[in-house]
Amino acid sequence: MKILVVEDEQKVAAFIKSGLEEHQFDVTVAYDGFLGQKLALTQNFNIVLVDVVIPSINGIELCKNIKAAKPALPVLMLTALGTTSDKVTGFDAGADDYLVKPFEFEELVARIRALTKRMEYDYQQTSEMIQVADLSLHLAKKTAYRGGKSIALTAKEFDLLEYFIRHPGRVISKAELSEKVWGINFDTGTNVVEVYINILRKKIDKEFNQKLLHTRIGLGYLIGAEL
């Protein structure tokens, strides 16, 4: 597996590179966003690890640029910025996962394996459209429609809605959404899931009489026509 690490602190980059190479990964390091972007877009990597605060092109813009050119390339953000707002900003930029420094190295390796495995699975899916009621997603084009009206979604909002539609009528817990959509261990101290549920509900339900995204207090959420 080929991994690109974009990290400006040389000691941190060396630590990550050495640890990943011990797990038999092929690691390339870039110390600024400009070089990181050039390598990500011109070479083939299985995943990119990006710090947020880096020179020339910051990690948020770098992630956006990578995802615009290579939407299937997983991006994992490694940063000391760990508030809910920071995470939402990272996910809105297209990040597939977000790991706050300091972290356990085994957790980093586990997340890398989970992300690349999930991306491989997603790539193999052949269905172009999935739908519940009058809400539909075009998977290849990453577009959403309800009642014939286009709905603008960020990358992470699309991922969350896709997971719901693939499991219609089933109550899905916050822990499951955290793991399956964000690829992170559930943290009772964060409200990232609730933030995205509220955003998604406004986009897909607010202007429609029939509500599709429902809360089951103490249990989780489900998508489908209310019984």
Number of other CB atoms surrounding residue 144 within 10 Å: 21
Q: What pLDDT was estimated at residue 119? A: 64
Q: Which of 64, 120, 74 is nearest to 99 (CA)?
A: 74
Residue 130's pLDDT is what?
Answer: 85
- What is the pLDDT, as a whole number, of residue 126? 46
Domain spans of the chain, in order of start: 2-124, 129-223
Residue 189 pLDDT: 66
Residue spans of the chain under pLDDT 50? 123-126, 227
The rounded distance, in Å, linking the Cα atoms of 164 and 173 is: 11
- Residue 187's pLDDT is 63
Helix (H) / strand (E) containing 107 = helix 105-124
Residues with Cβ within 8 Å of 58's Cβ and at least 6 positions away in sequence, in order, are 33, 52
Residue 99: strand, helix, or coil:
strand
Q: Which CATH superfamily includes the segment(s) 2-124?
A: Response regulator (3.40.50.2300)
Q: Each residue of 120-157: pLDDT tens digit?
A: 655 444 457 888 888 989 888 888 998 878 999 998 99
pLDDT of 86? 85
Q: Are strands 2-6 and 47-50 parallel, antiparallel or unpaired?
A: parallel
Stated length of the chain: 227
Residue 192 CB partners (closer than 8 Å, separation 6+)? 84, 87, 88, 91, 178, 182
Residue 215: strand pairing partners: 221
Q: What's the pLDDT at 122?
A: 55
Whole-number Cα distances in Å, 46 to 26, 28, 100, 198, 204: 10, 12, 21, 32, 33
- Cα→Cα distances 115→84, 107, 148, 159, Å: 21, 12, 33, 13
How far does CA 192 lie from the centroid of its chain? 12
The pairing of strands 75-79 and 97-100 is parallel
pLDDT given at position 194: 94
Q: What top-level class would CATH report for the domain 129-223? A: mainly alpha
